[in-house]
Amino acid sequence: MLKKHPLITFIFFGVVLYLISNRLDELLVYQGATVGIFVIAIASLILLTGYSGQVSLGHGALMAIGAYAAALLRIHYNAPVWLTFVVAVLAAAVGGALLGLAAARLSGPYLAGTTLALAIGLPSIANQFSIFGGEQGLSFDIGFPPASLGEDFTQYKWYFWISWSAALIAMYWLRHVLNSRYGRSWRAVRSNDVAAELAGIHVGRNKVLAFTISAGLAGLAGALLGMTISLVSPGVYPLLLSFSLATGAVLAGVTTLGGVMIGAVILVAIPEIALAIANRYGGSETIITNLPGLLVSGLLILTVLLSPNGPVEQMHARHAKRAKSGKASHSPVELTLRVGSKTWSTKK
């Protein structure tokens, strides 16, 4: 259904989410909004890593760029909320494009190091210039939900609706991009950049484009995250967020968007699980504070060891093996690439 009627699938999914938002208690609705935001953030990372073959350990910083742009626009120009999100996408995309120019010349650990430096360095920039509000940050208040939605329509439900509307639109759009010429070019670059170059694909340009689009989506997620806590500050986008997103992408399976929900739900669930464990064993504040980080790291290591391509990809692989259909699996290293009238197979 997703492949044949993607629009209907997304609309149907939206209707289900709408029904869910009306039935859950406030805490779950609030957490649900965060899941929607992580869906966008993880998808942006999967686009970058799984499809274009570039690594980013600094996606939290790109989220922060979008969020600060949105908050500044809201504070100084009282811009409508939708416009702040558009500007968040554009600002982060510009940041991503600049970073992408450097990234296109780097690979592997050098690229990881560069993006990591951005994540570490960005809070210092916020502290350096008073326009960013220092550690205290900037207020990002989107206001009350429209009165027409009723008196009992809570703020959290409003966040849920906005987050998931953005997530569904972003995922629908992203799916089209990944299935377009650009997506195919990225996969070709990821699988074998020499072969891709020989096929007439401009590797550098495609890498920068992937970084720009990924950053734009991260900026949207960043602004949405700032919205849910009415605040944009360095503390909202810590280094741990960047690492968590990387973990979420690995858990989701970096080579496919299919598992993005799994990664997002796990990221939101980890603090809950940590709290439950800490409470059960009478843990101190230090344990409660540090356990989520430990769980994120542990899960990352376990996933890399046991299911390097993520559970969804593994499920596909098993399914394909069982079926013994002989058809090519979905792994990008086995993709057949068609550019114009020419056809290449990247299968090794």
Stretch that binds another protein, among 2-10, 38-46, 51-59, 62-70 (CB under 8 A): 2-10
Nearest to 34 by CA among 206, 272, 194, 246: 272
Least gap, CB of 330 to another protein (angstroms): 8
25 interacts with another protein by CB under 8 A: yes
Helix (H, G, I), strand (E, B) or coil at 279: helix
Window 227-256: contact mask with another protein (x via CB under 8 A):
-xxxx-x-xx-------------------x
Q: Which of residues 143-162 bind another protein (CB under 8 A)?
A: 144, 152-157
Total residues at interface with another protein (CB under 8 A): 49
Closest approach of Cβ 106 to another protein, in Å? 29
Task: Answer whether 42's CB lies under 8 Å from 171's CB.
Answer: no
Q: Does 134 bind another protein (CB under 8 A)?
A: yes
**23-53 burial by CB neighbour count: b if 16+ within 10 A, else e?**
ebeeeebbbbbbbbbbbbbbbbbbbbbbbbb
Q: How far is the CB of 212 from another protein (least distance, A)?
A: 23
Q: By three-state DSSP, how is residue 2 classified?
A: coil
Residue with tokens 């089209």: 176
From 44-52, 112-120, 131-139, 244-252, give the range in contact with another protein by CB under 8 A: 131-139
Query: If residue 344 lies in a helix (H) or strand (E), which one and from where to where?
Result: strand 342-345
Site string for another protein, 324-343 (x = CB under 8 A): ------x-------------
Q: Map residues 192-231 to x or -, x wherever contact with another protein holds by CB under 8 A.
A: ------------------------------------xxxx
Nearest alpha carbon to residue 203 among 53, 3, 329: 53
Residue 136 makes contact with another protein by CB under 8 A: yes
Hey, what are 244's tokens? 């968590």
Q: Which is nearer to another protein, 88 or 257 (CB)?
A: 257
Per CB under 8 A, 78 contacts another protein? no
95 is a site residue for another protein (CB under 8 A): no
Q: Does 141 bind another protein (CB under 8 A)?
A: yes
30 scored as a contact of another protein (CB under 8 A): yes
Q: CA dihedral defined by 336, 338, 342, 344, rounded to 10 degrees?
A: -20
Helix then strand then coil, in percent of the chain rounded to 5, is: 75, 5, 20
Distance of CA 182 to the CA centre of its chain: 19
Q: Which one, of 324, 270, 240, lies nearest residue 61 by Cα?
A: 240
> What is the rounded distance in angstroms from the CA atom of residue 258 to the CA atom of residue 52?
17
CB of 85: closest distance to another protein in angstroms?
Answer: 18
The contact mask relative to another protein for 173-192 (x = CB under 8 A, - = no) is --x---x-------------
| Sites for another protein among residues 255-294 (CB under 8 A) | 256-258, 285-286, 288-289
Query: Which residues touch 119 (CB under 8 Å, ≥6 apart)?
Result: 57, 58, 59, 60, 61, 239, 242
Residue 70 or 104: which CB sits closer to another protein?
70
Reading the block at residue 69, the tokens are: 């742009």
* Torsional sign, CA 149, 154, 160, 166: positive
Binder among 137, 222, 292, 332 for another protein (CB under 8 A): 137
Binding interface with another protein (CB under 8 A):
1-4, 12, 15-16, 19-20, 22-27, 30, 127, 130, 133-137, 139, 141, 144, 152-157, 175, 179, 228-231, 233, 235-236, 256-258, 285-286, 288-289, 330
